[in-house]
Structure 1
Amino acid sequence: MTDRFSPWGLLGRHLASLRDHRPGRTWDWTALAVLLVVPTAAAVVMGFVGTITMPAGWFTGVALLTGGLIGSFSYIAGLRMKLAERESTFPDGEAQIRQYLDETVAHILTAAYVSALTAIILVVEMNLNRRLDGLLASLPTWPSVYLLLLITMILPRLFHAYEELNDVLRSVPPK
C-alpha cells in the first residue's frame, strides 16, 4: 500500500533513460555529471552569496510549471497511444520515436515531481522568513536548476521525435 507514494519507480525510470545506448557504453556520464554538478554548484554559490528577496514569484513559477508539466504528460501519453495503435503499420519506422517518448515521459514526470518538491520547499521557507539567504536560499536552488536542466534535456528529445515522426509520415505514399 505504501508503494503508491514512493517516487523510486519513477526516479529509477528517469535514471534508466540516462543510459547511453551505443554499443559498449553503459551510462551517459556527461548528462549525469551535468545533472548533479551544475545544480550542486548553483546551490553552493547561492548558499554563500545569494539572496531570494521575492520567493513568492519563484513559488508561482514552479507551481505553474508543475501544472504545465502534468498537462504535457497527458498530451505525450495520448501521442504514445496513437503510436502504439499504428505499430502494426510502422513496426520499425516508429520504434525510435516510441523509445524517445517513453524516455521523455519519465523525464517530464520527474520534472513535475521536482517542481512540486521545490514549491513545497518554498512554502515552508516563506513561512520561516520572507527573505531567503544562506541555506534557505540554497535549498530551492538545487531542485530549480535540476528542473531547468531536465527541461533543457526534454525539449530537444521532443523535437527529435517530432521530426522523426514527420519523416516517417512523409515516406508513406498517399492512398
Structure 2
Amino acid sequence: MASDMPNWFAILQAQSYSAGGTVPLQCETSATYIAKVIRKVQNQGYAFISPSHEATADFNDVVSRFFDDKVLSESCNSWVKMGPGRSRNLVWWPGTAHRMEISRDPRWEDFVFGRAKETRVNRVAYFGNGWTERERVGGVESITNYLKEAGKGDLATLHEAWNE
C-alpha cells in the first residue's frame, strides 16, 4: 500500500520479502493482510483506505535504519536496490520472519479511511437493522456453529474463527 493511493494493494511489493520464508508464504501473508483490510472497508462503511503519510514515513525510516549497516547498503550494484551504488533496498523486509507476526493484524490507526456516502451522516449506519444475512437466511444453526461437543472445540481459535 502507498500513501495517496486509496485501495491499492500489491502481493509482492517493496519490503514484502522477509528472510526465513518462501515466496508462497510471503504471498499468502500479504494476501491475508490485504483480505483483512478489504473486509474492514467493505463491512464497516468505508469507500477507501490508504496508509497515512506519517505511518509511511515512519516505516521508511525503520527500513533505512535497519539496512544502513548491512551489506545490502554497500556501494555495490544489486537488483534488490533502488539504483546503482549506495541506495535503498527495495525488496527485503527490515528484519526476519517477524513480518508474519507483524502482518497478522493491521494497525488501523496507521490508516486514513474515507467513509462511504451512506456513513457520512452516521458512522455506524453499516450496522443496518440489527440482523445479519447469515441469521436471516440460515437461522439459529448458522449463528451457533461455534458450539462444539465437549472436548472437540479449538480454544486457540474459538473467538477469532467463531463465524467461519
Larger Rg: 2
Q: Which has the higher strand share?
A: 2
Pairwise same-fold verdict (TM > 0.5): no
Q: Which has the higher helix share?
A: 1
Task: Work out which structure has the larger RCO, using CA pairs closer than 8 Å and 6 or more positions apart in sequence.
Answer: 1
TM-score by length of 2: 0.30
